[in-house]
Amino acid sequence: MSILLKGDKRLRVASIVGMGGIVKTTLAKEVYNRTQIRDKFDTRAWLYVSQDYKPMKIIKELILQ
């Protein structure tokens, strides 16, 4: 969360990586739904990207959100 809540305007990426089944998605969803995060960003989107993802499907979902 500290990466996402830094005060400067530089773009950042916070990655959560690891083997399947170690609650990466649960951790990401918990951070995504935190009040501090919701209040900091005007726009947010929740996307799930599987190993066999289709870029156009991801872009469409992002636009819809």
What is the pTM for the complete model shown?
A: 0.73
Alpha carbons 32 and 34: distance in angstroms, whole number: 6
pLDDT digits (tens, 9 = 90+) for 48-57: 788 888 999 9
Q: In the chain, pLDDT over 70 holds for what percent of residues?
A: 100
DSSP class of residue 24 equals: H
Token code pair at residue 64: 């819809």
CA dist., res. 44 & res. 37, Å (int): 9
Integer Rg of the chain from CA: 13
